Amino acid sequence: MLKDTVPLIASLNGENEAHLLVGTHSLNLTTSRATAIVKSGAFATIVGVSKQSDADALRKRFVDEPRISVLEDDFQLHHLTTLGRPLVAKVVERVFVNLAQDQALLMQSIYQQCVKLRIPINTSQRPEFSTFSPISTYTDPANSGLQIAVTTNGQGCLLANRIKREIVSSLPSNISKAVINMGQLRDRIIYEDSNSLISTYYLNKDLQELGYGLDEDSWDSHKLNKLVHEFSMSDAEKRLKRTRWLSQVMQYFPLSQLADVSIDQLADKYSSSGNVVTSGSRLEPSSTNKAKAIPEAEGASKNSSKASTSVSERSVSDQQQRTGSISLVGSGPGSISMLTLGALTEIKTADLILADKLVPETVLALIPKRTEVFIARKFPGNAERAQQELLTKGLAGLQEGRKVVRLKQGDPYIFGRGGEEFLFFSEHGYVPQVLPGLSSALTSTVVAKIPATQRDVADQVLICTGTGRKGALPQIPEYVSTRTTVFLMALHRSDVLVEALLHQGWDPEVPAAIIERASCPDQRITRTLLKYVPEVVNEIGSRPPGLLVVGKAVEALIDQEKLNLSESTKFRIEEGFEGPTDIPFDLSMFGN
């Protein structure tokens, strides 16, 4: 293998293919390979067995498996072109060689012939005679479809197996049910909502952008949050709404809760008149607080205080016995180490937590099991309705005398509607306690080694949104060469934003950084130039939540020789978070 090359890993469909296994130097290896081949739906022929006892053992082991054949003939090159399917002129479709190391000349001969015939070949322990290598794979025994494959590319199969085990052990115990449930919901939704449009180019294009299909490595993830006008959706957008919501649930909600998501929790149901009828939803049902219907109307956020005043008689009675309280809590950018002690205390003592969908799973995992949790359904085309839903649920909880925590990503007052929520609950007699959080707008620059301000580089910082009210572009600020500008909620429409910035006179050569999942283990920092941002986003996809930082500070601490951006190298990527990701003390003091 050439230095710095990366093998192409694929999920291969081998149904009904004819695979050839040569040799039984390691009988266990031949047995396991034959078993795997049959499980994949292919046929296995074993030839060139080392001794008669191996042939007898294989026949006994696979006596009830018609897809496995054992030939006692010595291997001949003509087996490559005579033991395959008639459909492919009897050429076998994959070869596994398992010979003793002193048979290197035969290995080489088989390899050279396979290369000429374009037959993929794997020779055990001899990468120079292989065009592919089987890798350590976990296959979900519950047949959910989940497979996890790990390779160290020759650095050690023991290490690959250990990494695989640790990845599998870190998954939720109900991961099989989660995968099965997501697949069943996906199939039902596409059939019910999109069947009449399934053959159209645009629908298939939309489904691919939402992460459906077999190309799991290259879907247009940056379009997952593309703008959908909430109150003026086309018929096709309405039909795709539940599909879009399911994609968002897969992307943002905790893995452990995906097994319990139901069809009724995904989007609104449209009547023939076009009116919207919605039902409340929750990922962890609680008998103490049944979901309530949500009043809907265009411009719901403007009328939110009026739309949420109705409460049950039981709630009024509960309020007389106990006064509810509410806090607006910032959870920081993602790392638990950046969660304030005040925020942690509120999380541990809440009765009801209303969380943003962007609050990372590591923070949600701190919530006691006894606490009711509702995650905002702020998916494309539903931002205003989802906000109204949260206000309704929060007010209902307060009127029942509960301690309500509105858990927000970053800081409540930095593009988090914290001010609007403060006014809403205050108008209803519940003045919120507001606990600040570390805003991703500034923590992201720190973890990305970007000094937001630095003498002779940047003397001011501007925090902007890339998406205004109802999806409109915000007012474009003027370009200031000594300013660091942070754009939140901008990556999904970077093409529109950058075009507007350049039209406003921004320097196309100014450095820019795309920072995603700041402070999380899968943090990604991509450095580029402003003019390249849309092209880069389109190529690398999206790993939400993310933001865009523009200004000379982006490269102030970076070795220019390492950056060296040009038309041939338009971006540089840095993977992973180097700082602390956990809290270095016992959380039990805060309760369970």
**CA–CA dist 286, 227 (Å, integer):** 33
**Cβ 515 vs Cβ 444: under 8 Å:** yes
In the residue annotation, 559 being an active-site residue is answered as: no
For residue 68, list its beta bridge partners.
44
**3-state DSSP call for residue 255?**
helix
Residues 198, 199, 205, 210, Cα dihedral to 10°: 20
Distant-in-sequence, close-in-space partners of 28: CB < 8 Å, separation ≥ 6: none
Edge-to-edge strands of the sheet including 511-516?
Answer: 460-465, 483-488, 546-550, 511-516, 524-529, 572-575
Neighbouring CB atoms inside 10 A of 231's CB total: 13
Distant-in-sequence, close-in-space partners of 563: CB < 8 Å, separation ≥ 6: 527, 555, 572
- Look at phi and psi of residue 417 and say left if phi exceeds 0, alpha if psi is from -120 to 50, else beta: left
**CA–CA dist 368, 15 (Å, integer):** 47
DSSP assignment of 191-248 equals HHHHGGGTTSHHHHHHHHHTT-SS-TTS--GGGTT----TTS--HHHHHTHHHHHHHH
In the residue annotation, 378 being an active-site residue is answered as: yes
CA 281 to mean position of chain CA atoms: 22
**3-state DSSP call for residue 410?**
strand
Catalytic residue among 378, 393, 403, 408: 378
Half-sphere exposure of 29 (CA within 13 A, CB side): 17
**Cβ 454 vs Cβ 553: under 8 Å:** yes
**3-state DSSP call for residue 279?**
coil
Q: Name the residue with tokens 């479709």.
A: 93
Catalytic residue among 193, 351, 356, 411: 356
Rounded to the nearest 5°, which phi and psi values hold at 343? -65, -40
**CA–CA dist 152, 96 (Å, integer):** 20
**Cβ 247 vs Cβ 211: under 8 Å:** yes
Distant-in-sequence, close-in-space partners of 148: CB < 8 Å, separation ≥ 6: 137, 138, 164, 167, 168
**CA–CA dist 185, 189 (Å, integer):** 6
Q: Which sequence positions are flagged as catalytic? A: 356, 378
